[in-house]
Structure 1
Amino acid sequence: MTVGGGVVDRRSGAPFISVHGTVSGHAARRPGDVAVVDADGTSLTYAELWRRAGWTAAALAAQGVRPGDRVAVALPRSARLVIALLGVARLGAAYVPLDSHAPRARLELLVDEARPVAVVTGDDPSGLPVGPVRVGVPAAAPDAPVPDAPDVDADTPLYVGYTSGSTGRPKGAVITHGAVRSFTYAPDYCPVRPGDRVAALANPAFDATTFEVWNTLAAGATIVVLPDVMTLPMQEWAELLGGASVTSMFLTTSLFDSIAREAPDAFHTVDNVLVGGEALDIERARRVLDHKPPRRLVHVYGPTETTTFATAFLCTGENLTGRSRVPLGAPVQETRLRVLDEQRRPVAPGGTGELYISGPQVAAGYLDAPELTAERFVVLDDGDRAYRSGDLVRLLDDGELEFAGRIDRQVKLRGFRIEPAEIEQALLATGLVSAAVVEKTGEAAGGALVAFVLPADPAHTAGLTARLAELLGERLPGYMVPARWLVVADIPLNANGKTDRRRLLEIAEEAGAPVPGVAQPAAEPADADDPSSSGGAGPLAELYAVLAELLRLDRVGPDDNFLELGGNSILALQATSRLRARGGADLNPADLLFAETLAELAGPAAAGPADTAR
């Protein structure tokens, strides 16, 4: 089955316009329009953005970067990040976005894979790997002349986006100018026009940055860099969102889920709220639609290999009626979808098959990985080149598609794609375990990774999981470090001789190990005189109770560490919001995330109950 009809060339007969060419046009026609507003309030017009991107291109060219080269960009979400991305594009090079907060070993691995000629850095490049020449974003015109923006065609790479790999090494999808131009050209799934303001909230290494930066600049609109939701109480962040006059924004499903639980009316000033990264809970969507909703709530889906979004579904009270899940929706732009069985035959309505995605947004392939490219990017019987998503979808009788799982073990957590095999291989590489299995439990904000490890030396297990978590934290990004650990005596096998993953989760439950997403026994009544219990007295008593409830633990005490309990940034947001709603301590999510122990929060908590009217 083909969903969405044939290809429509909306630029038929016209010369190809590069991604940076659209920005050049806006700078020439409306130079005074605001292109970027940073989180500190400073702003750049289109003329200023184009000029500073030229300075960056000149600085890179002076270091030997040429059209066709790759340039790593390790900058936080900011106006400087936008300047750097545009500067690399102006040079005809391809950027490789890095998470500047990732462990150095992880960055070294990515640099080794991508082999960039240079890396654009911020004020403190000390955590970056040694190798590529480091270039800052110039604050003034460089001595070197600004190079002319080269002509590029639709097949010229614009960026390389890395995702987790099942082989133990990340894989880089090569995204072209043509793919991004198709994605950003008059998007009906989220109309953006001159004068609109699009929020920038994504980690720069996450492909949602493509939407936040290039959709906005292609339309001549304004990128509004917002503070991280975790740095402010929920209500203050919601007020900031309204005060920033944001008209469109993207949120990961986990973050949306958390906000929907705690402040469902937070989006009432926004025109378009896009949500994606994991399956969207239909009850969370309904909750937002029932509380001063945004003008449009859109569920989006798409792998990195198909340039951010491949489908979109407009959520309304009417079209969610009678459904148990939020569908994937219709293909966006010129994307085409097929649901095929194992022999690549179309499935009938009601059937389940693998989703194949084709069209101009599909990546050129994986960088320097011809075998993997041939495996995942295939030519179908009708000659169409398609990406095998690995996602199983159900073709409903009404023509909608519903996510039904994965062919492989890949999972998504807080918007990031994760191959558990990569984590398992990293655990084996420590030499401390002879076997390891990693599973995901729960969904959206309640999702977490659980690691089951067989120690290499059964006589020495004390402190093993803490050491493993420490070693993984030095090699993998934080979202790939399991939140729960269980040391096992053996790895159970099923009748086919494969790892019995269901049995592992049963063992964890039987052992009393708290596993997110797995029902836990009800907590025994706590001793009201014990300040270390989740029901004790003292300024943190309410916090202990909230955390025990969220994390499904019997007891929480002052010596506990929030992250070691299984907490994450999304759960920190929920915890502090619930605490304020109950009149408890006035804490921010960052307080929980950075405290070594909960006891450290006694001072801020003792300052007084939260002002819930703020």
Structure 2
Amino acid sequence: MTTVQAPADRPSTDADHRLDALLLERWERDPALPAIIHGDTVLTVGELRERVLRTAAALRAHGVRAGDRVVIHHVRSVEFVVAVLGAMFAGAAHAALGVDDPPQRTLRAVRDCEPRAVLTNSTLRERFSGVSDVPGLPGLPGLSDLVVLTDEECAAYPPTLEPVREASDTSADDPVAVIYTSGSTGRPKASLISHRALVSRITALQTTHRMDERDRMLHHTVCTFDMHLGELYWPLLAGATVVIAAPGRHRDADHLAELIRDQGITTVYFGVSQLELFLLTRDPAERYDGLRQVLTGGEVLGPELVRRFHARSTASLTNIYGPSECTIYCTAWVLPRDPDLDTVLIGPAIQDTELWILDENGTPVADGEPGELYIGGAGVALGYLNRPELTAERFLDAERLPNAPAVSPHCRLYRSGDLVRARPDGALEFLGRADRQVKIRGIRIEPGEIEETAKRCTGVRQAAVVAHGSGAEKRLAAFVVPETGTEPGSLPSSVREALRTWLPPYMVPSAIEVADELPLTPNGKLDRRLMETWAAKRSAESAPARPVSRAPADTAAGTPADADPDVESVVSEVWCEVLQVPTVGPDDDFFDLGGDSFKVLRVVETLRERLRADIPLAALLLEPTAADFSEELRRIMAHGPTD
């Protein structure tokens, strides 16, 4: 079964498919329009153009050329946007690395990316300067010769168009972005996104969800998720304004609601969990009719959430689907305002896209039957950076699909690993994964990467990682087999500490169990289903008993209303209840223990009642360890929350 969307009006020249040429043409029309708003800073189109060209000139002066890569290491800010665009105008592909990731993971990505330069700020540049070796990463070459430029240094260069002229004869099939995702071998993999692919996706978005100079789009998606490309390039090419959320507050529903209201946001993308949290956090009577269009995706969207959104906004809600290997999205479905909606689809193919549903032999399935989704068209990535074997495995040329003769000549298909079923009108229903990949709070995770990292920990002979639970309650659990002579009692804590230094918080399992051996199926493979059962059972057993009732806040636990509460004890008690863990230590991280956006809401609401304090959601998001969060609560109770 296949579904195809042809382009509306395919441009005929490479320049029409290159972002630098398209942006310059757009900017020359309206230099006085606001391009970016961040806090009190308003950058006009002309000012943005000048800063971007200065950055491009600095990169070119330091040897950056077409086909090179530039690492962007900035917090969410005007400087981040300028760096991304400056790298593109210099002819390079940008690779944005999260500033909150462990330094070793960042440097490992730098080694894999092999950039010509890094754009960062003066505070963060020390992470890249003078590095000759990194503990725990044998064989990591020195990075002391890496060009590291700050935004202040770039500002000293003239805003020349020379980089654009030098790139004028380059191809629209040159890479413009490098998007890292978790890899099953223990090594993150990076999709290479071309100018042509990204222009195709922005064109598709603009065709169905048009924006113009009157619109404002919120930029709050983390830089390691490919939707940040849509949040930047789409509004800038449409003449709309990019409104940037404050660093560290992309999960803070209070902050986002304030921006939507005060800045007149008309277009926003929410991950499904974030949309759920947003609606749960705000006053049920609060409406968002200023919004014109909302896009969501990244996780399975339920009908009840759709109904709750429609009840509070006149904006359209569109469910989009697509792995980063296909550049932001490849299907879309505008949700009907149907109170009896029972299934949320991921939609038909967008323009410039071919979708095939094939069986295990690569043969198209019968109409309405489930199968694996293969994706083709202009948005398909160039492949994986420096991973020819993996590229050959996942990106298939038409001649390698002899059982699917209707594939367009010279078409490349990406094998998604997702199971879908087509409805008679061509819209697809998402059925799950065909491999081990999981999503935790909307982020793609390969358990194999965590397993390979755990095996590097001292005292670990074997490791297996599984996910258990569903929806907001889905968690990762690790089982480790100790080496001979290793004290098993101390292994979970040492493994956890090691994983925290190598992996981002969302990849550190909430539970780490020691096993004498890993269970096997009768045919000798790891019995992951049994480990999932173990993990779910032990999670339930370790959950503390929840009180049936609680005294009013002013007399809780026999404490007089005017007594100074033991904040650390209250925080520990509430975390244990919400996270279902037996104990909490002062250095424990809320998200490492299995916290997510929904649990943040539950914790803060409970603490507001028990401590009788106006606690903002951002307090826990910005101070996620028990000790730091408790200290922040004491400050809030003494002086009130800060803006």
TM-score (norm 1): 0.89
Q: Deviations along 1:465-523, whole A, 9 cap, x unmatched?
A: 222121112112222111222222322222232222222233234445668xxxx6863
Output the CA distance in 2 between the equivalents of 1:526 and 1:556. Answer: 22
Cα gap change, 1:442 to 1:219, in 2 (>3 Å): farther
For residue 463 of structure 1, give the secondary structure of its aligned residue in structure 2. helix
Q: Distance in 2 between matches of 1:314 and 1:514?
A: 42
In structure 2, what is the Cα distance between the partners aligned to 1:545 and 1:96? 41
Structure 1 counterpart of 2:240, from 218, 221, 240: 221
Q: Which AA in structure 2 matches 1:28?
A: E
Secondary structure class of the residue paired with 2:106 = helix
One-letter code aligned to 1:250: Y
Relative distance call for 1:260 and 1:579 in structure 2 (3 A) is farther
Residue in 2 that maps onto 1:280: 301
Partner Cα separation in structure 2 for residue 147 and residue 192 of structure 1: 31
Report the residue type matching 2:150 in the other structure. Answer: G
- Aligned with 2:126: secondary structure? coil
SS of 2:225 mapped into structure 1: coil
Whether the 8 Å contact between 2:216 and 2:240 is mirrored in structure 1 is yes
- Once the two structures are superposed, residues 414-442 of structure 1 have per-residue CA deviations (whole angstroms, 9 ceiling, x without a partner) of 33221100100000011322221112233
Note the 1:199-598 alignment, pairs <5 A: 199-227=218-246, 230=249, 234-235=253-254, 237-263=256-282, 265=286, 267-290=288-311, 292-318=312-338, 321-323=340-342, 325-380=343-398, 381=405, 382=407, 383=409, 384-397=411-424, 399-457=426-484, 460-511=487-538, 523=546, 538=565, 547-548=575-576, 550-553=578-581, 562-568=590-596, 571-577=599-605, 579-580=607-608, 584-592=612-620, 593-597=623-627
2:160 pairs with 1:142 = no
Out of 453-462 and 118-127, give the one that drifted further. Answer: 453-462
Contact 1:232–1:588, Cα closer than 8 Å, also in 2 = no
Q: Shift of the alpha carbon at 1:166? A: 1.2
Aligned counterpart, 1:111: 110
Match of 1:22 in 2: 22
8 Å CA contact retained: 2:273, 2:442: yes
Structure 2 CA distance for partners of 1:288 and 1:452, relative to 1, 3 Å: same
The equivalent of 1:157 in structure 2 is 175
SS for the counterpart of 2:84 is helix
CA deviations over 1:208-264 (Å, ceiling 9, x no partner): 111101111111111100125748964454233211111111122221222233336
Provide the rounded CA distance (Å) in 2 between the counterparts of 1:159 and 1:282.
34
The AA in structure 1 aligned to 2:296 is: V
Give the one of 206, 210, 215 matched to 1:196.
Answer: 215
Give the letter for the 1:350 counterpart. G
**1:316–1:105 CA distance, 2 compared to 1 (3 A):** same
How far does residue 413 in structure 1 lie from its aligned partner after superposition? 2.1
Question: How far apart are the structure 1 equivalents of 2:590 and 2:520?
Answer: 33
Match of 2:98 in 1: 99
Q: Note closer, same or farther for the CA distance 1:376–1:522 as it changes in structure 2 (3 Å cut).
A: same
Deviates more, 1:204-213 or 1:6-15: 6-15
Q: Deviations over 1:560-608 (max 9, x none)?
A: 7534542245532443256548994322334334343365466257559
Q: Distance in 2 between matches of 1:339 and 1:232?
A: 35
> What is the CA-CA distance between 1:57 and the residue it aligns to?
1.0
Identity of counterpart residues, as a percentage? Answer: 36
Q: Report the AA paired with residue 491 of structure 2.
A: L
State the match for 1:4 in structure 2: 4
SS in 2 for 1:195: coil
Partner of 1:31: 31
- The count of aligned residue pairs is 602
Q: Is the 8 A contact 1:391 1:404 kept in 2?
A: yes
| Change over 3 Å in CA distance of 1:442–1:26 after alignment to 2 | same
Cα distance in 2, alignment partners of residues 287 and 356 from structure 1: 33
C-alpha distance in structure 2 between counterparts of 1:256 and 1:61, whole Å = 41
- Work out the CA distance in 2 between the residues paired with 1:555 and 1:266: 40
Bigger fraction of residues in helix: 2
CA, structure 1 residues 258+144, in 2 after alignment: closer, same or farther (shift >3 Å)?
Answer: closer
After superposition, the CA RMSD in angstroms is: 3.3
Contact 1:23/1:50, CA 8 A, preserved across alignment? no
Shift of 1:525: 5.3
Q: Secondary structure at the match of 2:64?
A: coil
Partner Cα separation in structure 2 for residue 346 and residue 261 of structure 1:
42
User: Matched residues in 1 for 2:156 and 2:589: separation?
Assistant: 48
Bigger mean CA offset, 247-256 vs 573-582: 573-582
In 1: Cα distance, 2:306 partner to 2:550 partner? 39
Q: For the residues of structure 1 that align with 2:455 and 2:237, how far apart are their CA atoms?
A: 46
Gaps of 5+ in 2: 132-142, 399-404, 560-564
Query: What letter is aligned with 1:34?
Result: P
Q: Partner letter of residue 295 of structure 1?
A: A
- SS of alignment partner, residue 333 of structure 1: coil
Distance 2:99 2:475 in 1: 23
Distance in structure 2 (CA, Å) of the matches to 1:455 and 1:374: 36
Kindly indicate whether the alpha-carbon contact (under 8 Å) linking 1:107 and 1:128 is maintained by their aligned counterparts in 2.
no
Correspondence for 1:86: 85
**Counterparts in 2 of 1:586 and 1:11: CA distance versus 1, 3 Å:** same
- The change in CA–CA distance for 1:595 and 1:168 in structure 2 (over 3 A counts) is closer
SS at match of 1:240: helix
Q: Could you tell which deviates more after superposition, 206-215 or 542-551?
A: 542-551
Q: Match of 2:328, as an amino acid?
A: T
How far is the alpha carbon of 1:26 from its aligned partner?
2.1
**Contact 1:337–1:355 (Cα < 8 Å) also in 2:** yes
Gaps of 5+ in 1: none
Q: How far apart in 2 are the matches of 1:6 and 1:574?
A: 46
In structure 1, the partner of 2:195 is 177
Whole-Å separation in 2 of the counterparts to 1:144 and 1:227: 28
